[in-house]
Amino acid sequence: MKALAVFPSSREVRLIDQPEPMIAGPTEVKLRILEAGICGTDREITSFQYGTPPVNSPHLIIGHEALGEVIEVGSGVTGLAPGDLAVLTVRRPCPHDRCGPCRKGRQDFCITGDFTERGIKGAHGYMTEFVVDDERYVVKVPKELREVAVLIEPLTVAEKAAEQGRVLVQRLPGDLKNDPSSLSAVVLGAGPIGLLGAMKLVDGKWNTYVYSRGKADSPNVRIVSAMGARFVSSEEHPPADLVKMVGNISLVYEATGAAKISFDVLSVLGVNGVFLFTGVPGVMAPVEIDAEQIMRNLVLNNQVICGTVNAGRASFEEGVQDLVSFMRRFPAAVRALITARVALDDARDAVLSRGGIKSVITVA
Ligand code: BGC
Ligand code: ZN
């Protein structure tokens, strides 16, 4: 079968021919990959800044955002059957007994660092024709989501952040746990992670603002309006203006991976506010931030900063439900997130080029 692989030692990215994987245990599931999304992480891996091949392999098959069709199941599989649509989780547990999170299926909180991530770190990914994995990493998707289900993995970034946000709200005294409809949230960034996060917030009744570079007539900004959020251009308005436009900023969902703008917005976070970081910046020169202002606000305004990496199985299941809800409320906005579909034969060029919102490799 064909697969798109990166060879870090020779700095090559190319299609390779791989043996098809076979079911080897009773709880395994074999999927035919239908689509695989391309994200910033794939671009970092194919520019050799990130990513690690499996032990003893010179190459890594990339791709971690996949929709597949179940074609075969082991004798012990109970929740999936041939013909089902399904998405795959990314992180796999470390082998150490002392790692409580991994032993409990929460490898997104692994304490040893020896977890693997399919398509990213130490395990082959999904930009290929067939994949086999244990059923606990395979999440069933209703047929009605066929055309957009490839967005579930990036949506789990927002789902995991929401899980963390729900816990952080619990620190507030009982009668201060406000209904979100009286609160305002700011999403930083209007790429796929930002737009999917904004959809989650709008669907959860937050007054939602998306703060990003970009012109009012860009496709990203049209999606912001179509879902019922408001766009504020960071090119026209510095962070101080955000407070004038938004009022008290109770929540910031960061989806830029850019430290400077994120910490500048942190300095205008509101009273009792929560700031959720999801972006992974590259290794760059130090940036200047107003640390005294930020520290003063953190203390005097009871603020919380939380970093979050996706995601446990529950976030994938919540993502499936939320995507159904988004498709009922604003289907055109969801569909508009996918701006290109490219065949696996052309995947290399698609991964190495930029532009659009979300490009998807169509495998079958
Ligand atoms: C993936 C996550 C992964 C992270 C860091 C993201 O693109 O969606 O599953 O943990 O990269 O490797
Ligand atoms: Zn990704």
Poorest-confidence range of 84-88, 146-150, 165-169?
Answer: 165-169
With a cut of 80, say whether residue 177 has pLDDT above it: no
pLDDT at 36 (0 to 100): 98
pLDDT digits (tens, 9 = 90+) for 6-30: 999 999 999 999 999 999 999 999 9
Smallest CA-to-CA distance from 324 within 66, 80, 69, 151 is with: 151
pLDDT at 283 (0 to 100): 81
On the 0-12 / 13-18 / 19+ scale of CB atoms within 10 A, 173 is exposed
Q: 118 and 36 in contact (C-beta within 8 Å)?
A: no
Q: Which residue has the tokens 């994949």?
A: 131
Q: Reduced to 3 states, what is the DSSP secondary structure of residue 190?
A: coil
Reported confidence tier of residue 137, pLDDT bands at 50, 70, 90? very high
- Residue 121 CA: nearest ligand 1 atom is 12
Token output for 130: 């067939």
pLDDT digits (tens, 9 = 90+) for 223-259: 999 999 999 999 999 999 999 999 999 999 999 999 9
Q: Which residues line ligand 1 (CB under 6 A)?
A: 39, 41, 64, 90-91, 117, 120, 153, 309-310
With a cut of 90, say whether residue 96 has pLDDT above it: yes
Probe target for ligand 1 pocket from 44, 120, 193, 256, with the most ligand atoms within 8 Å of CB: 120
CA of residue 106 to ligand 1 center, whole Å: 14
Bridge pairing between strands 304-307 and 274-277 = parallel
With a cut of 90, say whether residue 175 has pLDDT above it: no
- Residue 309 CA: nearest ligand 1 atom is 10
Q: What number is the average pLDDT over the span 43-63?
A: 96
- Residue 153 CA: nearest ligand 1 atom is 8
Probe target for ligand 1 pocket from 309, 315, 351, with the most ligand atoms within 8 Å of CB: 309
pLDDT at 265 (0 to 100): 98
Reported confidence tier of residue 338, pLDDT bands at 50, 70, 90? very high
Probe target for ligand 1 pocket from 107, 117, 121, 280, with the most ligand atoms within 8 Å of CB: 117
pLDDT at 59 (0 to 100): 98
With a cut of 80, say whether residue 181 has pLDDT above it: no
- Residue 156 CA: nearest ligand 1 atom is 8
Amino acid letter for position 223: I
pLDDT at 300 (0 to 100): 97
CA of residue 44 to ligand 2 center, whole Å: 11
With a cut of 90, say whether residue 179 has pLDDT above it: no
- Residue 42 CA: nearest ligand 1 atom is 7
pTM over 0.85: yes
Reported confidence tier of residue 355, pLDDT bands at 50, 70, 90? confident
pLDDT digits (tens, 9 = 90+) for 192-217: 999 999 999 999 999 999 999 988 88
Smallest CA-to-CA distance from 27 within 70, 77, 71, 68 is with: 77
Q: 65 and 41 in contact (C-beta within 8 Å)?
A: no
Q: 181 and 207 in contact (C-beta within 8 Å)?
A: yes
Q: What number is the average pLDDT over the span 354-361?
A: 94
Dump the DSSP string for 224-251: HHHHT-EEEETTT--HHHHHHHH-SEEE
Dump the DSSP string for 43-107: HHHHTTSS-BPPTT-S-EE---EEEEEEEEE-TT--S--TT-EEEE--EE--S-TT-HHHHTT-G
Q: What number is the average pLDDT over the span 342-354?
A: 96
Q: Which residue has the tokens 């098809």?
A: 20
pLDDT at 15 (0 to 100): 98
- What 8-state DSSP symbol labels residue 311? -
Amino acid letter for position 298: L
Reported confidence tier of residue 170, pLDDT bands at 50, 70, 90? confident
Does an H or E element contain 131, and which? strand 130-134
Q: How many percent of the chain have pLDDT more than 70? A: 99
pLDDT at 180 (0 to 100): 74
Q: What number is the average pLDDT over the span 172-186?
A: 81
CA of residue 105 to ligand 1 center, whole Å: 17
